[in-house]
Amino acid sequence: MPIVELHLLEGYDKIQKQRLSVALTSAVRFVVPAAPDLVTVLIHETPAQDYYRGGVPRKPAPARADPEQTVRSFLDEMAVRALEKAQARLAPGFVMNFPGAKPMHALQELIEWAAPRYRFVTKTYEGFDALQGAGDAAIVYCRGTLSGEWPDGTPFGDIRFIDRFEIVDDLITRQDVWNDIAETKAQA
Amino acid sequence: MPIVELHLLEGYDKIQKQRLSVALTSAVRFVVPAAPDLVTVLIHETPAQDYYRGGVPRKPAPARADPEQTVRSFLDEMAVRALEKAQARLAPGFVMNFPGAKPMHALQELIEWAAPRYRFVTKTYEGFDALQGAGDAAIVYCRGTLSGEWPDGTPFGDIRFIDRFEIVDDLITRQDVWNDIAETKAQA
Amino acid sequence: MPIVELHLLEGYDKIQKQRLSVALTSAVRFVVPAAPDLVTVLIHETPAQDYYRGGVPRKPAPARADPEQTVRSFLDEMAVRALEKAQARLAPGFVMNFPGAKPMHALQELIEWAAPRYRFVTKTYEGFDALQGAGDAAIVYCRGTLSGEWPDGTPFGDIRFIDRFEIVDDLITRQDVWNDIAETKAQA
Amino acid sequence: MPIVELHLLEGYDKIQKQRLSVALTSAVRFVVPAAPDLVTVLIHETPAQDYYRGGVPRKPAPARADPEQTVRSFLDEMAVRALEKAQARLAPGFVMNFPGAKPMHALQELIEWAAPRYRFVTKTYEGFDALQGAGDAAIVYCRGTLSGEWPDGTPFGDIRFIDRFEIVDDLITRQDVWNDIAETKAQA
Amino acid sequence: MPIVELHLLEGYDKIQKQRLSVALTSAVRFVVPAAPDLVTVLIHETPAQDYYRGGVPRKPAPARADPEQTVRSFLDEMAVRALEKAQARLAPGFVMNFPGAKPMHALQELIEWAAPRYRFVTKTYEGFDALQGAGDAAIVYCRGTLSGEWPDGTPFGDIRFIDRFEIVDDLITRQDVWNDIAETKAQA
Amino acid sequence: MPIVELHLLEGYDKIQKQRLSVALTSAVRFVVPAAPDLVTVLIHETPAQDYYRGGVPRKPAPARADPEQTVRSFLDEMAVRALEKAQARLAPGFVMNFPGAKPMHALQELIEWAAPRYRFVTKTYEGFDALQGAGDAAIVYCRGTLSGEWPDGTPFGDIRFIDRFEIVDDLITRQDVWNDIAETKAQA
């Protein structure tokens, strides 16, 4: 105990079902202090011809992409300046909020804004947290440290950061960024 | 569809079951793009005398406190300097990471660290995100804006912040804080 | 086999559940040629606090009245001219179709129409059939024989009839009547 | 809610399962005033090797033919005088009751009886109602209007009729017919 | 896994349900090599008004007495010569088969048969095995050692024995006894 | 009722599932006095990718061999002196207890012990009882009669015997034997 039985329309693959099992296990453990091993998840896939609402069969909706994976890919693409690929992950109306910056909507805008601030920056990840929000957006948090070079070539490192992403229909709609860059500069 | 059936040992109250239903609904929607209304959760409570492993009946574990509520209470208590109550929510080994500060372990330490930085600060919440982590800790994020007065009495406001909390066995084990205070000062 | 498990919100009484079991058993036997004894129905009542859609608990809707019983009561009341009671069972917009008559909407209209046709008439029931239609209406059929006296006092009997009723929200919206009165007169 | 789970031995096809889902949905709605869309039917097919009574596996019984379809085919065949095909749908002991006629047992008998009554008659269907009776018979009602020509060639139309059929083991055992032919003649 | 869900009519007590859980756990482990702790048993008690076969509710049958307990009580009563109580546990037609004896039907018969063989005998139990047979009888095995005194007062001990009992409708129908008494005497 | 639903990881064959159904049916009937035909067993096989504990999929364990069959084969092999095959069915540490003999560990030991006791012996089986014990061992009982020849060539027959076997991990760990040989000799 606890045992979770999930009835799904047939059509989800092994990885999607594993993601479901992990999310359901966490959902239970969020309230019930059971060791993970004691949380059983059973997935029952129902062929479309065996499921009816109002006597009418229904089609399964394709699974969402893994939002954490979407964010990881986006960050990787930004790291190597694969801007076109990164851009393809953004929803119309996408907005980025960086420390001390006005809301930005285009990746090029971000690159221009960053140019006078550091020559380059690299993210080292400490952890990701991902969850479905109450509304349509999935939320992905990513935190760790930044290292790179200031405009004058001085190296920096170990600067804490956290990013928060909202993903709707597999596209990133919003990115909020916090970090200790200003604090570090102030202390320097 | 999807339908989640959760088998639980009897002994959870209405609020705990609602929390479970919300967490399970989000878990499903994290992978399956179903409108919330189409995600059904059925909770089956099993009396202790009807559940056995190895032929031996088992006792239900008391539900965890709502970690988001724990964090809200902690933040409220800190806001009104109810330090004793706030302290009671911290686990042994508790650690706080604030921008530019060394890891702190005691609330008094934080108060002393903050004293030269601002006269007071008030948090306006924009949102909370809470989830069970893969390990034992539940994670609570809280974000919004800070307002208050600098040491010289000048008011400030609208400074973005985000806090990340880890909660184990209903006690806060860790708080990480990011904000735009240094950025704001630098721009001032 | 077959086994029907019905999950219902708690709040239906013994008679309503028996009606469900009979209707579900017939539904299965309509397609699967199982002897009645081999059709098992298990009703699982779920307390309101254990059922959620979109993380929101739901209330059970009160059961419908038994439409066959509604029709039987209506027919009994008509038989003893308890017109007020009978009238209370009719929906606004109620319509009656009798052989050779224009659609009628009021019970008084029917009584006036019948006056020159027979002194009185009594129904002997051979059987009722009741089912839920595809739309909102439940359908009740009632068949048997009529006996009574013609306007001149001559008795008649054994005249076949069938009535078809539609019931929506426990009120009768339509009555269609067929019988062999004209045939009988023609043969006389 | 309500949710119907039907456990069946494997071996029913898509159309038979759809018929089951429609019948079960109606059965629930006969008692519980749920919108059709809120009635979920889940069919669980059990392979023969996974179902046992008394430790002995069982074989699924082939599904019944759709009794409404049986009646529609019978009526179509009668309409085009495909008497042999129509006859094949009748059980031994079949009986027909027409207005003012003695019980008839053979289709030829009906044709002879009808000959002096009308040159031909065509049915326009307004609706069918079909259900499983409490016993072995499925019941099918068919209602609508008759049009055709009287023996003297005068056309008629819009004469209400209703037929009631009993079907056992996919064969029609009884047909009861009511209509307004005599009423119409009397008014003419 | 494995998980056993047992649907029962309401009306079994805690001890009867525990017995069921132990028997079901053993049944699974008889085929599947799962550690006992990994075999989950969930008992779902169905109120009589929620269970129907053929649309008719059914009554639960009272649980059988624990056949092992019946045998233990019988053996205890025989040990203290509470013959009336012991007799009450025997079915009409009860038969006993002892080494070298003709089938006996009455306890008194046994006592007379034993008289010249030993002054008294005491059973020390090594173990019981109990199971439901394929037919109506439950089977209980009891094995261990006998000690006592020969007719001449010489003590004996450590003589192996095994008893096999059949129990139908809570009454013992048959007892088969094997032991090493003759072997021991032969070796003496 | 009762209905047993067994959830198993996919991977058991028809015969193993039948054995499970028989064992589960007997387990229920051990407590609930239901006729075998009224005990329904439904086996739900879960593909490995649909079952998780702690969010981790699990593998099914191969089924145990049928312990009764193991014992029958062992006895058959002993009967025809296929000692190598019989030996392969014994666990390290195997022990045999025969009437009046010290515990023996090797089949050869048994043969030598028996040599002076009878020329040969044949078992006629009256019945087997098999069950899973509370620990790891399955228990198999076998009873019936012995016939054969004494060392001097005199035939004997109809001597009752019972054997009790313990089987762990498909290997026999223990055999206990009781019979009336000594009693028969004593009476001779």
- Supply the ipTM of this predicted assembly: 0.95
Residue from E32, E53, E68, E70 whose CB has the most chain F CBs within 10 Å, to mutate = E32
Residues of chain A with CATH 3.10.450.50: 67-187
List chain F residues with CB under 8 Å of E5: 4-7
Residue E51 scores a pLDDT above 80: yes
Phi and psi dihedrals of B158, rounded to 5?
60, 30
Q: Is B15 helix (H, G, I), strand (E, B) or coil?
A: helix
Contacts of E178 in chain F (CB under 8 A): 160-162, 178-180
Average pLDDT, chain E: 95
Of the partner residues B41, B44, B45, the one whose CB lies closest to the CB of residue C52: B41
- Which among F7, F46, F55 is the nearest to A36, CB-wise? F55
What is the percent of chain E where pLDDT is above 70? 100
Locate the chain C residue with the closest alpha carbon to F38: C38
Give me the pLDDT at residue A1, please: 80
Please write down the long-range contacts of E83-90, taking CB distance under 8 Å and 24 or more positions apart.
Answer: E83/E107, E83/E108, E83/E111, E89/E171, E89/E172, E90/E171, E90/E172, E90/E173
Q: Give residue for tokens 């040969």.
A: F120
Q: Can you give the pLDDT at residue D127?
A: 97
| pLDDT computed for residue E29 by the predictor | 96
Q: How does pLDDT run across F92-149, given as a tens digit for each residue?
A: 999 999 999 999 999 999 999 999 999 999 999 999 999 999 899 999 999 999 999 9
pLDDT at E188: 78
Q: Which CATH superfamily is domain C3-57 in?
A: Macrophage Migration Inhibitory Factor (3.30.429.10)
Asked if E178 contacts F179 with a C-beta cutoff of 8 angstroms, the reply is yes
Q: Please, what is the angle between helix C14-29 and helix D14-29, to 10°?
A: 160
Q: Do B4 and A9 touch (CB under 8 A)?
A: no
Q: Is B10 helix (H, G, I), strand (E, B) or coil?
A: coil
The per-residue pLDDT for range B70-103, each reduced to its tens digit, is 999 999 999 999 999 999 999 999 999 999 999 9
> From CA A42, how far away is CA A17, in angstroms rounded?
10
- In chain E, the residue whose alpha carbon lies closest to the alpha carbon of B55 is E22
Joined together, the tokens standing for residue C133 give 């239609």
Whole-number pLDDT of residue A72: 98
Residue C167 tokens, joined: 């019931």
What is the nearest CA distance from F14 to chain C, expressed in angstroms? 19
- In this model, does residue F168 exceed pLDDT 90? yes
Q: Chain B residues within 8 A (CB-CB) of chain E?
A: 7, 46, 49-55, 57
Q: pLDDT band at F86, cuts 50/70/90?
A: very high
Cα nearest neighbour of A179 on chain B:
B178
F99, amino acid identity: P
pLDDT digits (tens, 9 = 90+) for A109-132: 999 999 999 999 999 999 999 999
Residue of A19, A28, A30, A41 best to disrupt the F interface, most CBs of F under 10 A: A41
What is the distance in angstroms between the Cα of E54 and the nearest Cα belonging to chain B? 26
**Cα angle value D134/D137/D142 (rounded, 5°):** 105
CA-based nearest distance A21→chain D, Å: 21
How remote is the C-alpha of D142 from its chain's centroid? 7
CB spacing of E52 vs C14 below 8 angstroms: no
State the smallest CA–CA distance between residue E130 and chain B in angstroms.
16
| Neighbors of chain D with 3 or more C-beta pairs under 8 Å | A, B, C, F
**pLDDT over 90 for what percent of chain A?**
94
DSSP states along B38-103: G-EEEEEEE-GGGEEETTEE-PPPPPPP-HHHHHHHHHHHHHTT-HHHHHTTEEEEEEEE-TT---
The dihedrals phi and psi of B5, each to the nearest 5 degrees, come to -110, 125
Is there a contact between A125 and A146 (Cβ–Cβ < 8 Å)?
no
Question: Has residue C188 got a pLDDT over 80?
Answer: no
pLDDT score recorded for residue C1: 80
Rounded-to-integer distance, Cα F148 and Cα F159, Å? 10
**pLDDT for res A64:** 94
State phi, psi for D181 to the nearest 5 degrees: -60, -50
The neighbour count for residue C95, using CB atoms within 10 Å, is 15
Distances (CA, A) of C145 to B170, C111, C165, C174: 75, 19, 17, 21
Tell me, what's the pLDDT at D53? Answer: 93
- Distance linking the first and last C-alpha atoms of chain A: 55
- The whole-number pLDDT of residue B188 equals 78
Q: Given this model, what pLDDT does residue A146 score?
A: 97
CB-nearest to B22 from C46, C50, C55 is C55
- Quick check: E182 and F185 CB within 8 A? yes
Burial D113-134 (b: 16+ CB within 10 A, else e): eeeebbeebebeeeebbbbbbe
Chains in touch with E (3+ beta-carbon pairs under 8 Å) read: A, B, C, F
Q: Which stretches of chain A sit within 8 Å of chain D by CB?
A: 7, 46, 49-55, 57
Alpha-carbon gap: A124 to the closest alpha carbon of chain B (Å) = 17
Helix (H, G, I), strand (E, B) or coil at E5: strand
Q: What is the pLDDT of residue C45?
A: 93
| pLDDT digit string, tens, across residues F49-83 | 999 999 999 888 899 999 999 999 999 999 999 99
CA–CA distance, B145 with A176 (Å, rounded to integer) = 13
pLDDT of E187 reads 86
Return the CA Rg of chain C.
Answer: 21
- State residue A119's pLDDT score: 93
At A62, give phi and psi (nearest 5°).
Answer: -60, 145
pLDDT at residue D60, rounded to an integer: 86
Taking 50 as the pLDDT cut, the residues of chain D under it are: none
Specify whether domain E67-187 bears CATH 1.10.8.50. Answer: no
Query: A40, F50: Cβ pair inside 8 Å?
Result: no
| CA atoms lying within 13 Å on the CB side of residue E185 | 17
Q: Which has the closest alpha carbon to F44: F74, F79, F3, F84?
A: F3
* Range(s) within chain F of domains with CATH label 3.30.429.10: 3-57
Parts of chain B with a pLDDT under 50: none
Interface contact A43-F53, CB threshold 8 A? no
Helix axes B14-29, A14-29, angle to 10 degrees: 160
Which residue, among E7, E43, E45, would best test binding to B if mutated, counting the most B CBs under 10 Å from its CB? E43
* Contact across the interface for F51 and A42, Cβ inside 8 Å: yes
Instruction: Tell me which residue in B7, B49, B54 faces E17 most closely, judged by beta carbons.
Output: B49
List CB contacts (< 8 A) between A43 and chain E: none
Say whether D54 and F39 touch across the interface (CB within 8 A). Answer: yes
**In degrees rounded to 5, what are phi and psi of residue C93?**
90, 5
Q: What percent of chain E has pLDDT over 90?
A: 94
pTM equals 0.93
CA distance E37 to chain C (A): 28
Question: In a mutagenesis test of the B interface, which of C42, C45, C50, C58 is the best target, namely the one with the most B β-carbons within 10 Å?
Answer: C50
Of E7, E179, E186, the CB nearest to F1: E7
Report H helices in chain A.
Answer: 14-29, 67-79, 83-87, 107-114, 181-187
Three-state secondary-structure class, residue F28: helix
Residues of chain A contacting E41 with CB distance shorter than 8 Å: none
- Cβ–Cβ below 8 Å for A4 and B4: yes
Comparing CB atoms, the residue among D49, D51, D55 nearest residue F22 is: D55
- E61 confidence band (pLDDT: 50, 70, 90): confident
Q: Which residues, in sequence order, are CB contacts of A53 under 8 Å at separation 6+?
A: B1, D36, D37, D38, D39, D40, D41
Q: What pLDDT, in 10s, does the model give residues E26-41?
A: 999 999 999 999 999 9
Peptide bond into F2 cis (omega under 30): yes
Distance (Å) from the alpha carbon of F41 to chain C's nearest alpha carbon: 10
CA gap C56, C49 in Å, rounded: 9
For chain B, the straight-line distance linking the first and the last C-alpha, in angstroms and rounded, comes to: 55
Which residues of chain A make contact with B156, given a CB cutoff of 8 A? none
pLDDT (tens digit, 9 = 90+) per residue, C24-59? 999 999 999 999 999 999 999 999 999 999 999 988
Alpha-carbon distance of B178 to B100, in angstroms, equals 10
What's chain C's average pLDDT? Answer: 95
Cβ distance D3 to C7 less than 8 Å, yes or no, reads yes
pLDDT surpasses 90 at C61: no
Question: For residue E59, what pLDDT is reported?
Answer: 87
pLDDT value at residue B59: 87
Give pLDDT, residue D61.
86
User: For residue B64, which amino acid is it?
Assistant: R
Dist CA A68 CA A165 (whole Å): 9
